[in-house]
Chain A
Amino acid sequence: MEKRLLVIGPNGVGKSNLLESVELLGSLRSHRSSSDQDLIHWNNDSAIIRAKTSNDENLSLEFRKVGGRKVLKNGKQLSRHLDLLGSVRCVGFSALDLNLVRGEPLLRRSWLDRVVQQLEPVYGDLITRFNRLLRQRNQLWRYWKDSEQANQDVLLDAFDVQMALVSTRIHRRRNRALKHLQPLAAKWQKRLSKGNEDLELNYLPGSALEGEETELSWRLAIEEQLAGQRNDEERLGSCKVGPHRDEVSFLLNGSPARKFGSAGQQRTLVLSLKLAELELVGATFREPPLLLLDDVFAELDPIRQFLLLEAVGDDHQCLISATHLDAFEGDWRRNSQILELERQQDGILEVG
């Protein structure tokens, strides 16, 4: 079987849907939307993704307007959706990722979260819990605006304790993942820039992480900061300490790539980050993950396409989408299976 599948077709035909469905099986989340409702066709009650893997596993992931998700593995319903993870491992690279260096900090946090989630599936629970705590806490100030209450500090203490613990766990995991990514990304950046660029990844946590890196000392430091910022928080209506304020900085030869990097350097950097991710996931599980390249080729010049091809080699199975076959330079087309999609009337896309 060919290692590369090129999916070709006009805009809106469903190329990204196809790649996104593989991403969903691999990570249970989509980089394009955070709500399952967006994944269901407007006049249908549900959407289903079915797949058969080379390990002969039959996977099915159903999104329902009412009743949430339903996950099946080999015909058996999984009570814990997380148990689906591991059947398909993939690393996605889409045109949206090209903003990783230049865009909002949120993009860099989500990128890092996707990496951590691949390595540690429970991480998703930590993020969900933290987001809920933060929403409840922010809402609390609105609640108190209407009526001043007794024991406000006691209730805030109750939030501080929980948020400090969850924040510590998130900070530690993000920090650890970046440390693993750093040497790999630096190696790729060096190679892709023909030895000219030294890349450094820095974790800038949204809490001041004082003391040695133990769960206890970080937790206590965060608890103290949460208590210390309450007056500001009351004025602004939002919490200023925690992993929701995390940032990752990329330094090229010592200067922030976000400000001083050229457009070309920034693209090479994104490529390095993705290759580092691919290598880290592959090394952790001793199996090369699937690479999903969604509409990035139109954005990459021939030199970077060539470098990417060379870097990916023949180890990884790749699913690649583009509007035209011309987008691919040189060897990308060789040894590839080409799938041309045409617009369908009924919205059903058959891939045979």
Chain B
Amino acid sequence: MHLLRQPKEKIQVFSNALLNAKSKVGQCKRCFHLTAGEECEICLNQQRDPSVICVVADSRDLIALERTREYKGLYHILGGLISPMDGIGPDLLNISHLVNRVDRENTKEVILALTPSVEGDTTSLYLSRLLKVFVKVTRIAYGLPVGSELEYADEVTLSRAIEGRREVE
């Protein structure tokens, strides 16, 4: 209804923008993030550390991590998680590209940032086994959300947090 009340010109501009997005936005040839050019803004940014690659399932996860402004390395988008039930095997994800890229770019560390579901853990374990022979592989810690009370955390989160405990510095 809101759209129908707008003047025709405005609708024209809006629909052109949508068509443009559809036709011009493609994937970065290096990390598979969304971009209008050959490579995305992050890969082209000289300020970022090219020796670290953070692996995520899709571009939405990248955007969430970018909001933290903490991470200064590059990314690699898998395009999903391994899930045979949904017909998704490793061959359908950007995994061989990742292996080649780590080799070619002389990467020092790969950080796996995938959800802790069965599919996410399977993908993490698969990738770490493929990569750890020639690069350091780490994964993000699972634990308690900041601002939450320990006593209200569920047992699954708590046991994961205990498994991933660290020595106090």
Contacts and interface: CB of A to CB of B under 8 A. Distances in A.
Nearest to B99: A151
Contact of A122 (B89, B91, B118, B155): B155
A182 to B, nearest CB: 26
A125 B160 CA distance: 13
B121 interface: yes
Given A136-B83, A140-B84, A143-B84, A157 B118 contact: no
A74 to B, nearest CB: 16
Given A136-B84, A139-B84, A80 B154 contact: yes
Contact of B121 (A82, A125, A155, A162): A162
B74 interface: no
A142 interface: yes
Nearest to A157: B129
Nearest to A129: B118
Nearest to A153: B129
Interface residues of B, number: 20
B1 to A, nearest CB: 24
Contacts of B126: 151, 154-155, 158
B122 interface: yes
B88 to A, nearest CB: 9
A161 interface: yes
B130 A132 contact: no
Given A132-B118, A154-B130, A157-B129, A139 B90 contact: no
Main secondary structure of the interface of B (DSSP, over half): helix
Contact of B82 (A80, A125, A129, A155): A155
B125 interface: yes
A161 B121 CA distance: 10
Contacts of A149: 89-91
Contacts of B119: 136
Contacts, number: 57
Interface size class of A (residues with CB under 8 A): 20 to 34
B3 interface: no
Nearest to B155: A122
B136 to A, nearest CB: 18
A162 B122 CA distance: 8
Contacts of B89: 140, 143-144, 149, 155
Contact of B90 (A80, A122, A129, A155): A155
Interface string B66-91: 00000000000000001111010111
B85 A135 contact: yes
Contacts of A122: 154-156
A131 to B, nearest CB: 10
A18 to B, nearest CB: 31
Interface in B109-167: 118-119, 121-123, 125-126, 129-130, 154-156
A219 B30 CA distance: 39
Contacts of A177: none
Contacts of A142: 84
A144 B82 CA distance: 13
Contacts of A308: none
Contacts of B83: 136
Interface string A137-180: 10110111001010100110111011000000000000000000
Given A122-B155, A154-B130, A157-B129, A139 B85 contact: yes
A1 to B, nearest CB: 34
A144 B154 CA distance: 37
Contacts of B84: 136-137, 139-140, 142-143
A143 to B, nearest CB: 5
Interface of B: 82-85, 87, 89-91, 118-119, 121-123, 125-126, 129-130, 154-156
18 contacts: A122-B154, A125-B156, A133-B118, A136-B122, A139-B84, A139-B85, A142-B84, A143-B84, A147-B91, A149-B89, A151-B90, A151-B126, A154-B126, A154-B129, A155-B82, A158-B121, A158-B123, A158-B126
Interface of A: 80, 82, 121-122, 125, 129, 132-133, 135-137, 139-140, 142-144, 147, 149, 151, 154-155, 157-159, 161-162
